[in-house]
């Protein structure tokens, strides 16, 4: 089974978006409007760029890490990058 990834995108307005996926390239294309899908948040802030990624063995681990990162203040996320 494919690894899961937690990722952070930098949006055109400088904001950060955190998510999880099994296919980083496809998900980035979705966020940038090249493919159907992508989050409503990033639709309004294109283009976005992938600035950080971290592999996880399963969806549960990836979602737990994503949830933890989303609770961090912006400065902590920038330090991670």
**CATH number of the domain enclosing 50:** 3.40.1440.10
Which residue, 39, 48, 42, 53, is CA-closest to 6? 53
Domain that holds residue 18: 4-80
How many domains does one find in the chain?
1
pTM of the model: 0.95
- How confident is the model over 23-46, as pLDDT tens digits? 999 999 999 999 999 999 999 999
Q: Measure the CA–CA gap between 45 and 56, rounded to whole angstroms.
A: 27
In the predicted structure, residue 2 carries a pLDDT above the cut 80: no
């Amino acid at each position: 089974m494919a690894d899961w990834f937690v990722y952070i995108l930098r949006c055109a307005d400088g904001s950060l978006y955190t998510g999880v996926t099994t296919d980083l390239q496809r998900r980035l294309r979705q966020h940038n409007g090249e493919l159907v899908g992508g989050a409503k948040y990033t639709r309004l802030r294109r283009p976005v760029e992938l600035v950080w990624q971290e592999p996880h063995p399963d969806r549960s681990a990836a979602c737990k890490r994503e949830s933890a990162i989303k609770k961090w203040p912006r400065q902590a996320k920038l330090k991670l990058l």
